[in-house]
Structure 1
Amino acid sequence: MTPDLEGAEVLVAVDEYGSIGAAARRLGITQPAASARLRAMEARWGLTLVERSARGSQLTDEGRAVAGWGRAAFERVAALQAGLEALRGRHDRDLRVAASLTVAGYLVPRWLGELRARYQAATPQLMVVNSAAVVDRVREGTADLGFIETPDLPSDLAVRKVGEDALAVVAHPSHAWARRDRPVDRDELAQEPLVLREPGSGTRRTFEAALGASPQVAMEASSTASLVGAVIAGIAPGVVAERAVIAAVQNGDVVPVATIVDARRPLSVVWSRERRLSRTAEALVAIATAGSATMRP
């Protein structure tokens, strides 16, 4: 039989405060309820734990022994609860986020700012890698959440769409495409050497899927800044996230090129189905999802 914790709690309180009435007040219950718990415990175990008289109630020798064991048990329960709360607090504070380049550069900082406003004790860590590496980090457990920008969604992870993004083809103002009055078609895109992100990036995978062919590579860049810089330098037209090139277009450093290719992509958050999300991780997912309506540049 499992111990009667409610009865033991009353017994310990009687031992500490000297009477059933005082014990009941300390526990926030009525005196009849406290007496009923003690009687139920005595009947269950066939013991007399409290001697009741007109002068009050006193613990028997057996009652004092049980009260001592109960006190030790409650101290252990309190230590267990304190330990669990400490672990949960650390679990909620420490949030490891991996994000692909565009999401990390233009969206995640805003989301983390809102998260910190809600949970000031949160200490998120942001790792910026391409989409394939984001998925790997979530799988291996070195990231709690991963934000990716690719149409290739992992089937072994939990996935939630948080928005949509689009790619743009941009060229140096002196390039022939910058002066065209008709869209560039698929064949022209496939034949023209381009500045592209590295294999494994969501930008590269989205463009290849939209193009339906392997593009010609003039240069591969592992960062958006270096990709845009290569286009500004006149190396070749480039494929980049729309939001990442707004300033360069406004400054006249590059020119957006109209194409017939629809290169939109989902922005998603992924996490392991095997590991429970902390409260801060759940909050970040909710913040990102709620912000999806205003994510377009």
Structure 2
Amino acid sequence: MPQLADLDLLLSVGSHGSVGKAAQAHSLSQPAASIRISAMERRLGIQLLERSPAGSKLTEDGEILAKYARNVIEAARELLEFGSGARSGETKRLRVAGSPAISEHLLPEWLNRSRFSFGEVRVEVQSGGVDALRGMIQTGLADLAFIDGWCEAGDRGQRHDRNDLVTRNICDDELAVVVGSDHPWATRSTPLTVAELAGAPLVVRERGSGLREFTDELLDAAHAPQSHVELPFNAAIKQAVATSRRVTVLNVSTVRAELAEGRLHLVAVDQDMPAKPIYAAWSERRGLPGYAAELVEVAAAKGSPVPVVGAGQRSRKAGSRSRLRPQQSPAIDVHEAIA
């Protein structure tokens, strides 16, 4: 009989597509994780993984075992939670996960607008990338995840995908050009052209991030020389822009506090800026606990993030054709969201 820890490790390999990444998630070395998977294969007499230099994926037998493993691990967690709740008298718990920007800038406000702030339920928040969040839902580590994805939301209702995920569109988070208060563009009255933006000294995210991919695509079209500083975190980018005359492109949700304080300013652009959809995801098999369903409704009712500007500062300059997109209510497919 495989151990629960080994089954959980197998599920992580399926979610991450890599024994090394799964090992890291379980605080194991890659050789140790490989030995445990190989031992489980020998014990069961089946091959669980297809291994290649590009990574590892579950075989057909591995997928079947993973299906049973999810049920076993979830049942074990529910048993442990029941025992813990019976001892402490605390039975209401909500495990929420979110992308880093959502967890930091949006989720606290959504929680404050719900009844969770009155102590009726214990809320545990985790953060991670898209693949990690999907894995948390599939393995039962989270009841609900809020994920941001780079795609256009379609005119469709709630969607179910082949990996037991249900997704619902919550809102859109528009991208915006941002400068510090000392930058000449902070008081500019005419829309900025993409060519002007491409020729400015920029602060950008690291290669491989969705924000960087959009920024590169936008600026490459201008065929202008680009001078930039590359930073891995939004907080570092905001600090660099606020204390210099550099320019950046960020999501509106991540700069609302700085706009309200007057440390950062939005600059209008002569074209529409795209919006990044934010959606909720949960397990179709386990469904949504009542508190989680309430949080989804609170988030959807709040709508798309809009700038909170300080006194004397306008969120959009006169004559701008760039605008915030209206909230879209349909849900989107998780696979399209991460394409």
Check whether the contact 2:106–2:253 (CA below 8 A) recurs between aligned residues.
Answer: no
- Partner amino acid, structure 1, of 2:244: G
**Residue 253 in structure 1 maps to residue 267 in structure 2:** no
Q: CA deviation at 1:237?
A: 0.8
Q: CA deviation at 1:161?
A: 1.2
* Counterpart mapping for 1:256-295 below 5 A: 256-259=266-269, 260-292=271-303, 295=305
Check whether the contact 1:190–1:213 (CA below 8 A) recurs between aligned residues.
Answer: no
**Match of residue 111 from structure 1:** 110
| Gap regions ≥5 residues in structure 2 | 1-78, 154-158, 308-339
* Counterpart mapping for 1:71-150 below 5 A: 86=82, 93-113=92-112, 114-116=114-116, 120=120, 122-131=121-130, 133-139=132-138, 141-150=140-149
Q: CA deviation at 1:209?
A: 6.5
**Match of residue 193 from structure 2:** 185
Task: Provide the identity percentage.
Answer: 32
Alignment partners' CA distance in 1, 2:203 and 2:183: 14
Q: 1:292 to 1:255 in 2, by over 3 A?
A: closer
**Residue 241 in structure 1 maps to residue 251 in structure 2:** yes
**Match of residue 172 from structure 1:** 180
Give the 3-state SS of the residue equivalent to 1:227 in structure 2: helix
**Residue 196 in structure 1 maps to residue 204 in structure 2:** yes
Alignment partners' CA distance in 1, 2:189 and 2:202: 20
**Residue 219 in structure 1 maps to residue 229 in structure 2:** yes
Alignment partners' CA distance in 2, 1:161 and 1:187: 33
2:168 aligned residue (160, 166, 175):
160
Alignment partners' CA distance in 2, 1:141 and 1:236: 43
How high is the TM-score relative to the length of structure 1? 0.55
Check whether the contact 1:97–1:146 (CA below 8 A) recurs between aligned residues.
Answer: yes
Alignment partners' CA distance in 1, 2:133 and 2:81: 30
Alignment partners' CA distance in 2, 1:270 and 1:243: 20
Alignment partners' CA distance in 1, 2:140 and 2:201: 38
Structure 1 or 2: more helix by fraction: 1
Q: 1:163 to 1:192 in 2, by over 3 A?
A: same
Check whether the contact 2:82–2:91 (CA below 8 A) recurs between aligned residues.
Answer: no
Q: CA deviation at 1:171?
A: 1.7
Number of aligned residue pairs: 213
Q: 1:285 to 1:249 in 2, by over 3 A?
A: closer
